[in-house]
């Protein structure tokens, strides 16, 4: 794993300029989603306050227009009215951060603490064992993927200094083959979207690859040129943003034990592959396991079987993740049981 330090001065020229505010996110909330959002903000509101939101049918877009006097007219006392009016104004000014702006050592150390990890390094994150699907050598998607990778590998100068765009072409081949096989084996609709916009309650921006089922996001992939650790940081922020906005939830499902859910993340340089499981009650990854594809000209010349086996292993893992997520019963207890089966 690369130990290349992250530098605040290493901001890339194509880093996104974000003008989106938290108000832009909140305006799309329905009443129940707004209530659950306000629950998490610790504004000292109680169930009687939330019942007023329901009675008055206050959604996100109307909430952003309310003043202290409006809240008082709805039946709130003076104290909560002042707090809510101030909060509304803060939402309109609160700029979201771009995913690509997360790149400092300090933020990387803070991330495990945020998720109650006993350490300040990604290797301290609890590990999980990905489900592996056996891929046959004569699988058409595998054969096409192998051909694409060997062709591209033979035409580039070196993967050692390859930039992010070059590495993404190899990641793309692996993902498309994995999706094709997963669709065939599950008979489920699974699609990939490039540069999908994702917004959460702190961060926003485009994710490299978003894989989704009919409604839900299943997996988000972040392609990095070299620094896997910063890839973890950004991918976890992407998963965090996607998690609460994955789909519309009803009041008794949203953000509590009855709404248990999970998403997968992939961080890859094209050579190194790491997998993340982001759940309602914890964060898990494969940081202590080595999953690699030997993308060198030497392997093409001397032992293509090694390359084929590397590709099969990574595709097998991704197919396993997608198959798991797209076939799990939607009941929270079923999802929780699936997660527990994978934890080391």
Provide the pLDDT for residue 259: 72
Provide the pLDDT for residue 245: 64
Burial of 58 (0-12, 13-18, 19+ CB in 10 A): buried
Parallel, antiparallel, or unpaired: how do β-strands 126-127 and 97-98 relate? Answer: unpaired
Q: Mean of the per-residue pLDDT values for the chain? A: 87
What is the arithmetic mean of pLDDT over 174-194?
A: 97
Residue 3 has pLDDT above 60, yes or no: no
Q: What end-to-end distance do the CA atoms of the chain give, in Å?
A: 21
Provide the pLDDT for residue 122: 82
What is the arithmetic mean of pLDDT over 14-42?
A: 85
Task: Give 98's contacts (C-beta < 8 A, 6+ positions apart).
Answer: 15, 16, 17, 18, 203, 204, 205
321-333 residue pLDDT tens: 999 999 998 888 9
**Helix intervals (H) in the chain:** 22-26, 31-40, 47-55, 60-63, 68-74, 78-93, 105-114, 140-155, 164-186, 228-243, 297-302, 304-327, 332-342
How far is CA 155 from each of CA 111, 143, 152, 164, rounded to the nearest angstrom? Answer: 39, 19, 5, 16
Which tokens sit at 306?
Answer: 């090694």
- Give the position of tokens 């530098």: 7
Provide the pLDDT for residue 12: 39
| Architecture of domain 22-93 in this structure | Orthogonal Bundle (1.10)
Q: 17 pLDDT band (50/70/90 cuts)?
A: low
What is the arithmetic mean of pLDDT over 228-232?
A: 88
d(CA 63, CA 78): 17
Provide the pLDDT for residue 31: 95
> What residues does each domain of the chain span?
22-93, 98-342
Provide the pLDDT for residue 4: 41
């Amino acid at each position: 794993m690369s130990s290349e330090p992250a530098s605040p001065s290493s901001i890339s020229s194509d880093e996104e300029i974000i003008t989106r505010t938290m108000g832009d996110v909140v305006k799309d909330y329905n009443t129940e989603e707004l209530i659950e959002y306000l629950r998490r903000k610790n504004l000292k509101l109680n169930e009687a306050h939330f019942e007023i939101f329901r009675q008055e049918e206050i959604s996100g877009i109307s909430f952003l227009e309310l003043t202290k006097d409006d809240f008082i007219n709805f039946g709130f006392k003076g104290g909560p009215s002042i707090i809510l009016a101030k909060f509304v104004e803060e939402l309109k000014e609160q700029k979201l951060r771009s995913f690509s702006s997360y790149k400092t050592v300090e933020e990387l150390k803070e991330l495990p603490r945020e998720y109650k990890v006993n350490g300040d390094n990604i290797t301290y994150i609890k590990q999980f064992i990905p489900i592996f699907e056996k891929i046959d050598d004569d699988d058409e998607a595998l054969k096409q993927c192998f051909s694409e990778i060997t062709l591209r590998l033979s035409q580039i100068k070196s993967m050692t200094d390859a930039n992010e765009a070059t590495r993404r072409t190899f990641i793309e081949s692996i993902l498309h083959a994995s999706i094709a096989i997963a669709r065939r084996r599950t008979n489920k609709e699974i699609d990939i979207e490039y540069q999908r916009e994702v917004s959460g309650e702190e961060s926003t921006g485009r994710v490299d690859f978003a894989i989704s089922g009919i409604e839900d996001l299943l997996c988000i992939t972040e392609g990095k040129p070299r620094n896997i650790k910063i890839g973890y940081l950004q991918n976890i922020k992407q998963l965090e943003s996607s998690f609460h906005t994955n789909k519309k939830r009803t009041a008794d499902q949203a953000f509590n034990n009855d709404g248990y859910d999970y998403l997968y993340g992939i961080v890859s340089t094209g050579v190194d592959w790491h997998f993340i499981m982001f759940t309602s009650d914890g964060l898990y990854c494969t940081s202590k396991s080595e999953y690699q594809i030997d993308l060198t000209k030497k392997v093409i010349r001397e032992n293509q079987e090694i390359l084929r086996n590397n590709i099969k292993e990574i595709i097998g893992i991704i197919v396993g993740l997608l198959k798991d997520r797209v076939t799990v019963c939607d009941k929270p207890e079923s999802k929780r049981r699936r997660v527990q089966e994978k934890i080391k």
